[in-house]
Structure 1
Amino acid sequence: MFALLLTPAYAPFAIAFAVMIGIGLIEAVGLGLGHLDLDGGMDGGVDHGGVLDWLGLGGELPILVWLTSLLGCFTLTGIAVQQVATAATGAPIAWGLASAAAAVAGALLNTLAANGLARIMPGFETTAIATDELLRRRGTVLEGTARRGAPTRAKVVDRHGQAHFVMVEPHDDAGTIAHGETALLVRREGKLFFAVADTNTLLQPF
């Protein structure tokens, strides 16, 4: 079988198999590249109940696991196509025709495989957040003093406990936020956040 994979008729499937092994090794050493945020990176207005579900991507399956499954299905169906052709005609068909048939059959098979994997794998919860989710959270100024027109860097911890470093200015024209002070992020313009210092009387209890 290994010798067959080195022939031109089986070349696409040998390449797919090699890529599948490579991705599997990446996953095995725990790089976590498969844990991509599908909602944030692949949405694009696509109906998750339609195309993504049909492809097997609707169950929050890590993208590299899905891709490994697809490559495996493509390899298996491609070899099967060539074996059937060889048994029927005495020789494998052209690699391009075999690849086209394997792509269709492999995609159909992968739909079943990916949905099955999604059911048995532990649930995956992404820690990616939208930038606006940092609003109404407190940040700590790390350097200098923030003034209007002179933002400075602050550290904000999101709901997952992950730290984000953002540029902040006081919300009030005359306000300042000194080094080490905490402030409530109240609005955003592009990458710049505006904050009200905790020392502001508006945030003090009555």
Structure 2
Amino acid sequence: MLDFLTTSNNLPFAVALAMMLMLSVLELLSFLFGASVSGFLDGLFDFDFDFEAGDADGSELAGHSLADRFMGWLHFGKVPVLILFATFLVSFGGIGLILQGVLRNTTGFMLPGWLAALAVFPLSLPAVRVFGSGLAKVLPKDETEVVSQESMVGRVATIVIGEAAQGSPAQARVRDARGRTHYVMLEPDEPGQRFKTGDSVLLIARSGAVFRAIRSDSPALSNPPT
């Protein structure tokens, strides 16, 4: 079995399953330290899809690029990015190993790794969509409703991992207007300033995936009641 997994023909699929295990361990460790890899990824990509890929008249699809429609079809923005990525890794790795196993048992040979990966990649995407669709229905609405990252500007965040400096952002935890927790990357707005773990800061602007913040030492600077 180990020889089957480690052969070069199955390398893409073994790597995918190994990445899945590594992500699981990383998420567990980050949770123990009060952070979240999943929350960071959701904040980093900030998907905002408010349409259904299956809309009959296409009115909801107007103005969206092909890439947006594809990501919406996979339920990005409705299900955490980490879960969808993990689903893809498991599907890709599992389908690939099954395909190679069937070929070996019936014909005595396996496809080259690169060719098998090209064949399995499109087969893995429907699995991501089906799982994402089911999970979007099961998760509480508050967990799946998209919140614009821009709405975080003006709120107080707490540094949870690392030390933030200009050009070297750190992860912080912030609550939105409904009291839900999000994880964002931020750096000081003022040159030479640093924020350490546990510091409370005020988000004042956003540039790409990184927020700019100022120190929030005043008790008056706190998130409004929800």
Question: Normalised by the size of structure 2, how large is the TM-score?
Answer: 0.53
Distance change >3 Å, CA 165–CA 97, structure 1 → 2: closer
Contact 1:86 1:92 in 2 (8 A): yes
Aligned to 1:130: 150
Distance change >3 Å, CA 158–CA 50, structure 1 → 2: closer
Distance change >3 Å, CA 82–CA 74, structure 1 → 2: same
Q: Measure how far apart 1:38 and its partner are.
A: 6.5
Distance change >3 Å, CA 79–CA 126, structure 1 → 2: same
Bigger Rg over Cα: 1
Does the alignment pair 1:91 with 2:109? yes
Aligned to 1:32: 36
Contact 1:56 1:112 in 2 (8 A): no
Q: Measure how far apart 1:47 and its partner are.
A: 7.6
Does the alignment pair 1:66 with 2:77? no
Q: Measure how far apart 1:14 and its partner are.
A: 0.7
Distance change >3 Å, CA 118–CA 131, structure 1 → 2: closer
Q: Distance in 1 between matches of 2:176 and 2:13?
A: 44
Q: Measure how far apart 1:166 and its partner are.
A: 4.3
Q: Distance in 1 between matches of 2:176 and 2:106?
A: 62
Q: Distance in 2 between matches of 1:69 and 1:46?
A: 24
Aligned to 1:56: 75
Query: Deviations 1:103-129 (Å, cap 9, x if unpaired)?
Result: 111112221122222323344257764
Q: Measure how far apart 1:15 and its partner are.
A: 0.5
Query: Deviations 1:112-159 (Å, cap 9, x if unpaired)?
Result: 12222232334425776416964xx9xxxxxxxxxxxxxxxxxxx974
Q: Distance in 2 between matches of 1:7 and 1:160?
A: 50
Query: Deviations 1:3-33 (Å, cap 9, x if unpaired)?
Result: 3111111111111111011111222332422
Aligned to 1:144: none
Aligned to 1:164: 202
Contact 1:9 1:93 in 2 (8 A): yes
Q: Distance in 1 between matches of 2:146 and 2:133?
A: 19
Query: Deviations 1:149-176 (Å, cap 9, x if unpaired)?
Result: xxxxxxxx97467851549xxxxxxxxx
Could you tell me which amino acid in structure 1 is paired with residue 80 of structure 2?
A: P
Contact 1:127 1:160 in 2 (8 A): no
Higher-RCO chain (CA-CA 8 Å, sequence separation at least 6): 2
Distance change >3 Å, CA 133–CA 27, structure 1 → 2: closer
Q: Distance in 2 between matches of 1:101 and 1:47?
A: 22
The runs of 5 or more residues in structure 2 that have no matched partner are 50-63, 156-174, 180-199, 206-217, 222-226
Could you tell me which amino acid in structure 1 is paired with residue 99 of structure 2?
A: V
Structure 2 residue matching 1:34: 3-state secondary structure: helix
Structure 2 residue matching 1:93: 3-state secondary structure: coil
Identity of aligned residues (%): 24
Aligned to 2:182: none
Question: Normalised by the size of structure 1, how large is the TM-score?
Answer: 0.58
Name segments (4+ residues, structure 1) moved above 3 Å. 36-40, 42-50, 125-129, 131-134, 157-163
